């Protein structure tokens, strides 16, 4: 397996003398499917922000394929895709315009400007729309007019359009009904055969439900900003999970 992302000695300060992350050492290898567990406030979202370069740690370093994140080109940064808990869609733009945002790193400023002005490359978006379970009739609908479930699917289609190598997701199942949550997890874990598009083979997904980890290959538990455990799924004990959710 190739090492994709490497985090060493990561510290992120919080309020006062507190740390949101402390002494994080973590490597992600190609093909790994990592579940990230921990209470609310344990540092899961912060870790994902550091991993994709949107948050600079106060100390430590992050490398993508041996290159510091801050030295990556836009095209190289495109290899890391993130699904945020708040989705971060552009409300005034249509479904297809939002999905095309996922491909910005593959094009120039003129292409980005054309996408803001109107519908372009709608045919190129169709496989991603289908994979995310969206109806094609909504392709020109402004995102602000969609339901919560539809918006989630737009964000997923945008992420797939990015054609990344590593997928990071911040509690993507927390606000979904059981059926949609199952579909999304199946898609992210590459359990759903889709020939027309590439789905990242490597992922780190923050979960609020430990009962969903069976299809992952590795589990990382965070507690108070530190890694409490990091092991293959089959080595995880019920005691390990319970310990994460007990206040000290």
Give all domains of the chain, ordered by start, each with its CATH number.
1-79+200-248 (3.40.50.300), 83-163+166-199 (3.40.50.300)
Say how far apart CA 34 and CA 44 lie, in whole Å: 12
Mean pLDDT of 14-24: 90
Mean pLDDT of 127-147: 88
**Alpha carbon of residue 12 to chain centroid:** 20
Say how far apart CA 162 and CA 206 lie, in whole Å: 20
Q: Which tens digit of pLDDT belongs to each residue from 72-124?
A: 988 898 899 999 988 999 999 999 999 988 888 787 788 778 877 877 778 88
Query: Is the pLDDT confidence value at 195 over 70?
Result: no
Q: By three-state DSSP, how is residue 134 classified?
A: coil
Q: Which helix (H) or strand (E) holds 95?
A: helix 95-100
Summary mean pLDDT of the chain: 89
Residue-level pLDDT at 193: 59
Its pTM stands at: 0.90
- Helix count and strand count (H, E) for the chain: 8, 10
209 φ/ψ angles, rounded to the nearest 5 degrees: -125, 100
Query: Is the pLDDT confidence value at 135 over 70?
Result: yes
Q: Which helix (H) or strand (E) holds 80?
A: strand 80-83
Query: Is the pLDDT confidence value at 59 over 90?
Result: yes
Q: By three-state DSSP, how is residue 67 classified?
A: strand
First to last CA, the chain: 37
Pair 26, 227: CB distance under 8 Å: yes
Tokens 């344990």, residue?
42
More confident residue, 47 or 109: 47
């Amino acid at each position: 397996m190739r090492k994709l992302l490497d985090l060493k000695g990561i510290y992120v300060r919080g309020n006062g003398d507190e740390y949101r992350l402390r002494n994080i050492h973590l490597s992600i290898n190609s093909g790994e499917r990592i579940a990230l567990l921990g209470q609310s406030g344990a540092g899961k979202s912060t870790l994902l922000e550091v991993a994709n370069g949107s948050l600079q740690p106060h100390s430590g370093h992050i490398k993508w394929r041996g290159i510091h994140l801050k030295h990556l080109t836009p095209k190289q940064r495109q290899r890391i895709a993130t699904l945020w808990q708040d989705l971060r869609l552009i409300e005034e733009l249509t479904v297809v315009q939002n999905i095309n945002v996922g491909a910005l790193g593959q094009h120039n400023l003129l292409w980005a400007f054309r996408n803001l002005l109107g519908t372009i490359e709608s045919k190129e978006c169709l496989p991603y729309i289908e994979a995310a379970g969206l109806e094609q009739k909504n392709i020109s609908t402004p995102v602000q007019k969609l339901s919560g479930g539809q918006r989630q699917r737009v964000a997923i289609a945008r992420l797939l359009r990015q054609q990344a190598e590593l997928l990071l997701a911040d509690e993507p199942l927390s606000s979904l009904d059981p059926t949609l949550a199952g579909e999304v997890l199946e898609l992210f874990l590459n359990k759903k055969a889709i020939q027309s598009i590439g789905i990242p083979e490597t992922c780190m997904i923050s979960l609020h439900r430990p009962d969903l980890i069976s299809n992952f290959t590795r589990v990382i538990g965070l507690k108070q900003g530190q890694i409490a455990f990091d092991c293959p799924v089959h080595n995880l004990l019920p005691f390990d999970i319970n310990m994460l959710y007990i206040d000290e």
